[in-house]
């Protein structure tokens, strides 16, 4: 065991205790408010310079994926920092990459509240946020100001009031605006909370969208003399035929990475639990097996031409190992982080060090 392996243990133990204590109070608040209070407090503590005292020092191995160097293979999944307000504070907790967004061309308020529900018995969350965000221009200003040394992904989507037939226009607006500031750009076509969005995952719609985005990426790369990789984020609710078709389209359009997966519409793992019948996408442990299965199927179809970022239900080091064994080169976490705090990041990074 190296000194780096042994040193963080005390701090990690501290973190479990501190977070469990704080969480007791946070979870008494309405769900969405508690997330905001947690992030605002995190940001305030970061600004005092004290956050480093509460976060473990993580020994990590940098990883090359999509031509980028990731300080470690564990990232924050999209949707927690929708506007890029908390990148520095979240980065300080140990994430090797932070994906901000989903952002849309224009600000929008999202669905009516309540729209976020915890299912603690199974470590799950159901959300129907509906891309609430302050718009792409605001997010770009936040990204410009960050000091974070890790990789920043910017996740883009379409406004609710843009017809699905014109979705490509919204993605192109966002792509052009974020290109100079992103390390990679994630194209979200898998949120279940924007009507029609998931139809972009199949058939001619997918081919059309990917070829237009690829064309624009190439033009921007030439214009700005900098290549920013494009990743596509997919749902776990795909049939085998849809996975095969999508893999063909990703390869044909030279997409740089696949992010698998978003939340699920399935409810079999949570049937009978409070909130189980709420509309929206289910995340956390109930989506874990589905997401891992989708990663494994894509891995078979992609012939190592498109790297996979695995996300869905990671709540332990063993879950990280499972995602990597299924074919993921990088992993992301959202719901597990809400339930466990920064401890899970440290454990996950250790698991990816091999």
Residues lying near ligand FMN in the complex (CB under 6 A) are found at 77-79, 82, 102, 116, 125, 127, 129, 131, 155, 188, 191, 233, 262-263, 283-284, 287, 311-314, 333-336
Concerning whether 191 is annotated as a catalytic residue, the answer is yes
CB of 192 to ligand FMN, least distance (A): 10
Cis amide linkage into residue 102, ω under 30° from 0: yes
Active-site option among 34, 191, 283, 291: 191
Q: How far is the CB of 76 from ligand FMN (least distance, A)?
A: 9
Which residue, 11 or 314, is less far from ligand FMN as judged by CB? 314
For ligand FMN, the closer CB: 159 or 283: 283
Angle at 78 between CA 183 and CA 279, to 5 degrees: 155
Q: Give me the least distance between CB of 197 and ligand FMN, in Å please.
A: 10
Question: Measured from the CB of residue 92, what is the shortest distance to ligand FMN in angstroms?
Answer: 20
Least distance to ligand FMN from the beta carbon of 8, Å? 23
Specify the residue, 221 or 278, whose C-beta has the smaller distance to ligand FMN: 278
Residue 114 has a CB neighbour count (10 Å cut-off) of 12
Are the CB atoms for 52 and 89 separated by under 8 Å? no
- 188 vs 352 by CB, closer to ligand FMN: 188
Closer residue to ligand FMN (CB): 8 or 236: 236
Strand 281-284 versus strand 124-127 pairing type: antiparallel
CB of 203 to ligand FMN, least distance (A): 21
Cβ proximity to ligand FMN, 11 vs 233, nearer residue:
233
Residue whose CB is nearest to ligand FMN in the complex, by number: 79
Show which residues are catalytic: 191
């Amino acid at each position: 065991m190296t000194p780096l392996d042994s040193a963080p243990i005390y701090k990690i133990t501290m973190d479990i205790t501190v977070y469990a204590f704080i969480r007791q109070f946070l979870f008494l608040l309405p769900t969405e408010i508690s997330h905001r209070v947690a992030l605002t407090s995190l940001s305030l503590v970061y600004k005092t310079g004290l956050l480093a005292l509460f976060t473990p020092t993580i020994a990590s191995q940098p990883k090359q994926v999509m031509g980028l160097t990731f300080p470690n293979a564990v990232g924050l999944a999209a949707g927690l920092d929708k506007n890029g307000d908390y990148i520095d504070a979240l980065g300080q907790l140990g994430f090797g990459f932070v994906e901000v967004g989903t952002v849309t061309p224009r600000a929008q308020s999202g669905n009516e509240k309540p729209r976020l529900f915890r299912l603690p018995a199974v470590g799950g969350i159901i959300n129907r946020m509906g891309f609430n965000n302050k718009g792409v221009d605001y997010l770009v200003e936040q990204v410009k100001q960050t000091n974070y040394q890790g990789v920043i992904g910017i996740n883009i989507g379409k406004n609710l009031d843009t017809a699905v037939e014109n979705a490509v226009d919204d993605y192109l607006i966002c792509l052009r605006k974020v290109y100079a500031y992103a390390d990679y750009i994630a194209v979200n076509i898998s949120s279940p909370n924007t009507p029609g969005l998931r139809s972009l995952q199949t058939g001619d719609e997918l081919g059309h969208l990917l070829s237009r985005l690829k064309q624009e990426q190439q033009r921007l790369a030439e214009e700005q003399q900098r290549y920013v990789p494009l990743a596509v984020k997919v749902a776990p609710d795909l049939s085998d035929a849809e996975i095969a078709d999508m893999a063909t389209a990703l390869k044909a359009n030279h997409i740089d990475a696949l992010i698998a997966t978003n939340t699920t519409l399935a409810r079999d793992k949570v049937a009978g639990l409070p909130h189980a019948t709420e509309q929206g996408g289910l995340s956390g442990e109930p989506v874990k097996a589905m997401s891992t299965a989708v990663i494994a199927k894509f891995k078979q179809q992609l012939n190592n031409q498109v790297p996979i970022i695995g996300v869905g239900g990671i709540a332990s080091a063993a879950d990280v190992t499972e995602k990597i064994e299924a074919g993921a080169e990088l992993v992301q976490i959202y719901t597990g982080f809400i339930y466990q705090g920064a401890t899970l990041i440290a454990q996950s990074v250790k698991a990816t060090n091999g």
